[in-house]
Structure 1
Amino acid sequence: MSKRLPKLLYADAKGTIYDHPDLCMAGMNGTEAVLPEEIELIPLPEDSRLFTMPSMPPIAWDAARKRFVTVETVREGRRDQRVQAVAAFMAPGYVRTLLPACDYSGKQTHLPLWSYTAVGWDEERDCFVVAATRVDANSNWNPANYDDRTLDPLVRRMLKEMPGNRLLEQLARCAVDYHCFAAKNLFYRRWEAPLPTSPVCNSACLGCISLQAAECCPSNHERIGFVPTPEEICEIALPHLQEADQAIVSYGQGCEGDPILQADTIAEATRRLKQATARGTVNFNSNGSLPDRIAMLCDAGMDSFRFSMNSVREDTYNRYYRPKGYSFGDVLRSVRTAREAGRFTMINYLVSPGVSDAPEEVEALLRFVADTGVDMIQMRNLSIDPDYYNRAMAVNGKGIGMYRLLQRLKSEFPRLQFGYYNRTRENFYPPDLETGWPL
């Protein structure tokens, strides 16, 4: 532990953020308040954001009394002012190790679908600090690379070049209205571009960002409402593969259901793309619910697969994904199918401290990696109200620590890669895997 712990951050009713003169930053692992360890405190990454948490007073560490305290009010002048907790939403490429410490009992609505991270003020370093570690050094996705002032003419030009392409119209909306970086890449003709295909899904995820029940938190995007044709897909994807720097096209995006339900269309489009060019990488992001369709896509020439999971334990997986017409065993078979076909196989591991580092989850994950031989785990912060998620997953207590989870994985599987983003074929197996984590 550092000689001086970071200070508690809190906000007043207007959202102005302060650091507390006496109380120290705490975090939460699962449902328990904990002190962050020095090794997991890093400066708040550039392009991150701070959020207030309405009706949720912060929990702090009182060093004088050596205990955690809930801070309902702070003295300002002659009056006690009610305060609220503060959380960080980090730039991509970083995985959080602690949730914000606060009292959720007064919360009246579900928090929006963001990933909430413990944050404090470090007087010694004169900066905000978060409980996190970097897992991917790819700088392509930095917000500084996405200047909307240069985007608009590119969108207009491509729409003019491909009139009537419904998929392009969808992606123009994603780029301009929803500020999706992947969609913007399509118009910049660089890096990874999206190919949404499916208006339907066979999961009912608690944290789905494209479709939510009315009583839950609002979704971040409006889902695509049609299935594009192979011709529409290829008209967009082929020039990107042929011309873009570090070219990747990916099925399975935030503005759709699951593309595995459109596997026939995708297989046909992928065959055409592979016949037309050997350049670039074609990737498939999915829940992996239909193993036979994964085999079909392997035969069509798919280069890589990324399967989304919040847990490798069946009960915890089912509580979040709420599968319709498939089982957890089907997902495991899909992972093995892709790997046995020699495809680069990744897990989109939706992590949250207290669930992902629970002792039973850690042991199950070690068995899963050994059994499947997956190439990479993408450590993705699950965007959901932490209290809602912990309740739904029946969390009671804390885990071993996210940093220790990563250490266990790296120790037992030295060739296992960590990351946050999809990779080109040329970078599937970098020569120096020691740079994969920590960074």
Structure 2
Amino acid sequence: MKRLSPKLLYADERGNIFDHPYLCMAGMNGDDPVLPEGVELIPLPEDSRLFTIPDTPPIAWDRKAGKFVTVEQVREGRRSVRVQAVSAFMAPGYVRTLLPACDYRRKKVHLPLWSYTAVGWDEEQERFVVAASRVDTNENWLPRNYDDRLLDPLVRKLSAEFPDNRLLVQLARCAVDYHCFAAKNLFFRRWEAPIPTSPACNSRCLGCISLQPSDCCPSNHERIGFVPTPEEIVELMLPHLEQAPDPIVSYGQGCEGDPILQADTIAEATRLLKKASSRGTVNFNSNGSMPERVRMLCDAGMDSMRFSMNSVQEDLYNRYYRPVGYVFADVEQSVRIARERGLFTMINYLVSPGVTDSEAEVEALLRFIDRTGVHMIQMRNLSIDPDFYNRRMQVTGRGVGMYRMLQRIKREYPRIQFGYFNRTRENFFPPDLERSWPIADVM
């Protein structure tokens, strides 16, 4: 028996969410409305959230008319009410395959820095569904693991232990005020903890979460305002490496610019950490803009490196990152250096349907993998207003489909890993690399 298509979700002006009696869920790839394929619909993951897209009417599929329709009003009894689109913000570990379908031309506000995913209502199963695929099974980062009722005494305890450490003050603010999960891990003494170091950056990203012009969208954090000393870093991070389960300490976090600008401090701190303990993983997240500094950090004892990019096409990269004093060739050289020096090498790939899965981008990514030998592609949903991003990237039409893009990459490079999170040294290379992504999710 053929399954029914998911229903359109819409919200009234007060934010109450309803499913439509007969119109079907649609999604968007780039700026084109499309019908989700059954293979890309999964139950809304636990710990996800639903958002409205204010004053923006949804687009649905009308089966009777055989076309997409913009839904500005819905009948409620004898009256018509204005409606707005609904979006999902998924729990981490899932990559979206479609954007919410709505008439972005009528949007009156610049949407805040979240990742927006197409969502509908499965009437048969009585559950929300999203257009997505799971790319990482690590559940450490789910919100249910971060109970703030347990956090406050731990912050007080560590603050008393290191009263003069400026880095601790910064991370306490990140944990308590900004609800940064990585910062909370430091106080819970577990998993991956952050090491912000750089007040400055040599990129001017459209979606920067720590610094935005006033005419754009509010940033989620304030940047660190100082450069910690190697001693301040080691004082906090050495106990974490020695005591935490599955410990990772990571340079390059949301509350800073780019750590490559503080490479000397980071190299010295890393040498001290490695000299003091052989336990744990030291990771470096960066834009990779200075290859010689990447080389120096490899020599200092880094275990893994992750380089951020929204595209492997220089033109699209430049439109988003707006680099200052470097070019995309520098980033690619840094990836090759890290790989050649034997580090586990990842790209933090900021993805959006219609851009990431365009034929040109897929072909460019395959060539990039071939040239660099990168081990992992972290498929991270780009948090930005979809309409704003598509216009800046000059999107026209639709891509081949996100799940088809994933399939093709895995088919041509079976040992490439997909993921969402950084890994410990013990888990860099799973026993069955060719099945390191649940292909069944999209086949």
Q: Which amino acid aligns with 2:150?
A: T
Question: Distance between the aligned counterparts of 1:113 and 1:192, measured in 2?
Answer: 23
Task: Give deviations 1:256-298, integer Å, cap 9, x for gaps.
Answer: 0000000000000000001001000000000000000000000
1:306-385 equivalent positions in 2, closer than 5 A = 306-385=306-385
1:1-20 equivalent positions in 2, closer than 5 A = 3-20=3-20
The match for 2:84 is 84
Question: Distance between the aligned counterparts of 1:21 and 1:2, measured in 2?
Answer: 19
The match for 2:438 is 437
1:57-96 equivalent positions in 2, closer than 5 A = 57-96=57-96
Question: Distance between the aligned counterparts of 1:411 and 1:194, measured in 2?
Answer: 34
Stretch moving more, 102-111 or 42-51: 102-111
The match for 1:284 is 284
The match for 1:217 is 217
Kindly indicate whether the alpha-carbon contact (under 8 Å) linking 1:2 and 1:38 is maintained by their aligned counterparts in 2.
no
Kindly indicate whether the alpha-carbon contact (under 8 Å) linking 1:43 and 1:127 is maintained by their aligned counterparts in 2.
yes
The match for 1:393 is 393
Q: TM-score, normalised by structure 2?
A: 0.98
How far apart are residue 3 of structure 1 and its match? 2.7
How far apart are residue 435 of structure 1 and its match? 3.4
What is the DSSP-based 3-state SS (H/G/I as helix, E as strand, rest coil) of the residue aligned with 1:116? coil
The match for 1:141 is 141
Kindly indicate whether the alpha-carbon contact (under 8 Å) linking 1:418 and 1:437 is maintained by their aligned counterparts in 2.
no
Question: Distance between the aligned counterparts of 2:132 and 2:282, measured in 1?
Answer: 31
Question: Distance between the aligned counterparts of 1:87 and 1:107, measured in 2?
Answer: 14
Structure 1 spans left out of the alignment, 5+ residues: none
Task: Give deviations 1:121-149, integer Å, cap 9, x for gaps.
Answer: 00111100000000000011111111111
Q: Which amino acid aligns with 1:437?
A: P
Moved over 4 A (4+): none
Q: Which amino acid aligns with 1:362?
A: V
How far apart are residue 55 of structure 1 and its match? 1.4
The match for 1:296 is 296
Q: Which amino acid aligns with 1:31?
A: D
Question: Distance between the aligned counterparts of 1:258 and 1:162, measured in 2?
Answer: 26
What is the DSSP-based 3-state SS (H/G/I as helix, E as strand, rest coil) of the residue aligned with 1:256? coil
Kindly indicate whether the alpha-carbon contact (under 8 Å) linking 2:274 and 2:301 is maintained by their aligned counterparts in 1.
yes
Q: Percent identity?
A: 76
Question: Distance between the aligned counterparts of 2:77 and 2:180, measured in 1?
Answer: 45
What is the DSSP-based 3-state SS (H/G/I as helix, E as strand, rest coil) of the residue aligned with 1:60? strand
What is the DSSP-based 3-state SS (H/G/I as helix, E as strand, rest coil) of the residue aligned with 1:22? strand
Task: Give deviations 1:180-212, integer Å, cap 9, x for gaps.
Answer: 110010001100000000010000000000000
Question: Distance between the aligned counterparts of 2:301 and 2:95, measured in 1?
Answer: 32
Q: Is 1:107 equivalent to 2:107 in the alignment? A: yes
The match for 2:200 is 200
Q: TM-score, normalised by structure 1?
A: 0.99
Stretch moving more, 207-216 or 71-80: 71-80
Question: Distance between the aligned counterparts of 1:171 and 1:313, measured in 2?
Answer: 35
Q: Which amino acid aligns with 1:331?
A: V
Q: 1:159 to 1:2 in 2, by over 3 A?
A: farther
Question: Distance between the aligned counterparts of 1:31 and 1:124, measured in 2?
Answer: 30
What is the DSSP-based 3-state SS (H/G/I as helix, E as strand, rest coil) of the residue aligned with 2:436? helix
1:120-131 equivalent positions in 2, closer than 5 A = 120-131=120-131
Question: Distance between the aligned counterparts of 1:242 and 1:346, measured in 2?
Answer: 25
How far apart are residue 29 of structure 1 and its match? 0.2
What is the DSSP-based 3-state SS (H/G/I as helix, E as strand, rest coil) of the residue aligned with 1:117? coil
How far apart are residue 80 of structure 1 and its match? 1.2
Kindly indicate whether the alpha-carbon contact (under 8 Å) linking 2:56 and 2:84 is maintained by their aligned counterparts in 1.
yes
Q: Which amino acid aligns with 2:79?
A: R
Kindly indicate whether the alpha-carbon contact (under 8 Å) linking 2:430 and 2:436 is maintained by their aligned counterparts in 1.
no
Kindly indicate whether the alpha-carbon contact (under 8 Å) linking 1:146 and 1:181 is maintained by their aligned counterparts in 2.
yes
Task: Give deviations 1:373-396, integer Å, cap 9, x for gaps.
Answer: 000000000000000000000001
Task: Give deviations 1:46-78, integer Å, cap 9, x for gaps.
Answer: 010000001110000000011000001001121
The match for 2:262 is 262
Kindly indicate whether the alpha-carbon contact (under 8 Å) linking 1:346 and 1:378 is maintained by their aligned counterparts in 2.
yes
Q: Which amino acid aligns with 1:381?
A: N
Measured on the aligned residues, the alpha-carbon RMSD in Å equals 0.9
1:44-55 equivalent positions in 2, closer than 5 A = 44-55=44-55
What is the DSSP-based 3-state SS (H/G/I as helix, E as strand, rest coil) of the residue aligned with 1:95? strand
How far apart are residue 98 of structure 1 and its match? 0.1
What is the DSSP-based 3-state SS (H/G/I as helix, E as strand, rest coil) of the residue aligned with 1:28? strand
What is the DSSP-based 3-state SS (H/G/I as helix, E as strand, rest coil) of the residue aligned with 1:436? coil
Kindly indicate whether the alpha-carbon contact (under 8 Å) linking 1:285 and 1:305 is maintained by their aligned counterparts in 2.
yes
Structure 2 spans left out of the alignment, 5+ residues: none
How far apart are residue 2 of structure 1 and its match? 5.4
Q: Which amino acid aligns with 2:140?
A: N
Kindly indicate whether the alpha-carbon contact (under 8 Å) linking 2:418 and 2:437 is maintained by their aligned counterparts in 1.
yes
1:169-208 equivalent positions in 2, closer than 5 A = 169-208=169-208
What is the DSSP-based 3-state SS (H/G/I as helix, E as strand, rest coil) of the residue aligned with 1:245? coil
- Number of residue-to-residue matches in the alignment: 439
Question: Distance between the aligned counterparts of 2:149 and 2:345, measured in 1?
Answer: 37
